[in-house]
């Protein structure tokens, strides 16, 4: 099954399970920049630990991708591009990197969940993986997104198995 076919099949199953979802196929994406990031962060989402994420506003400007908005639904992919979950964005705040809150850092679920850890990991991430020429700056605008898990893939399903 191709990646697109797997995503479409997953979405049809999601619609059957949650009929209030929008009919239109949402954006499908994975966390992080490499497959290992995608898998590690997805696991935190599926475990109910990760309920937030952060992106560089400069990366959105560089790629032309639309900014997330409250109410958006997304299909989350694992590191192999297999659809594994449906999330709904519940809140968006754009703040300078050096003003991201400890509460938001905790919501991301990574490491010891402290703001210090969040800053260290995200500075390194944006220095290594930015999609824009500016990279990282201490006052760069960060899109802080909060979300809720609507639907994980069922463990025995074709989508979960790949």
CA distance 148 to 3: 24
Domain ranges of the chain: 3-156
CATH T-level assignment (fold) for domain 3-156: Sulfate adenylyltransferase (3.10.400)
Torsion of CA 148, 53, 10, 40, to 10 degrees: -110
- Buried-exposed string 9-37: b where 16+ CB fall within 10 A, e elsewhere: ebbebbbeeeeebeeebbebebbbeeeee
pLDDT tens for the chain, 162 residues long, are 677 999 999 999 999 999 999 999 999 999 999 999 999 999 999 999 999 999 999 999 999 999 999 999 999 999 999 999 999 999 999 999 999 999 999 999 999 999 999 999 999 999 999 999 999 999 999 999 999 999 996 544 444 434
Q: Which residue shows structure tokens 């997805």?
A: 42
């Amino acid at each position: 099954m191709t990646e697109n076919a797997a995503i479409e099949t997953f979405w049809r199953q999601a619609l059957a399970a949650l009929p209030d979802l929008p009919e239109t196929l949402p954006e499908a994406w994975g966390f992080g920049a490499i497959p290992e990031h995608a898998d590690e962060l997805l696991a935190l989402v599926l475990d109910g630990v990760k309920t937030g994420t952060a992106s560089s506003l400069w990366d959105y400007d560089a790629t032309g991708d639309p900014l997330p908005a409250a109410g958006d639904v997304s299909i989350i992919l694992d590191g192999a591009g297999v659809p594994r979950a449906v999330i709904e964005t519940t809140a968006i705040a754009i703040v300078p990197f050096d003003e991201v809150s400890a509460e938001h850092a905790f919501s991301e679920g990574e490491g010891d969940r402290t703001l210090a850890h969040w800053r260290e990991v995200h500075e390194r991430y944006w220095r290594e993986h930015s999609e824009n020429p500016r990279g990282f700056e201490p006052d760069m605008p960060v899109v802080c997104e909060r979300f809720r898990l609507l639907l994980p893939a069922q463990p025995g399903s074709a989508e979960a198995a790949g």
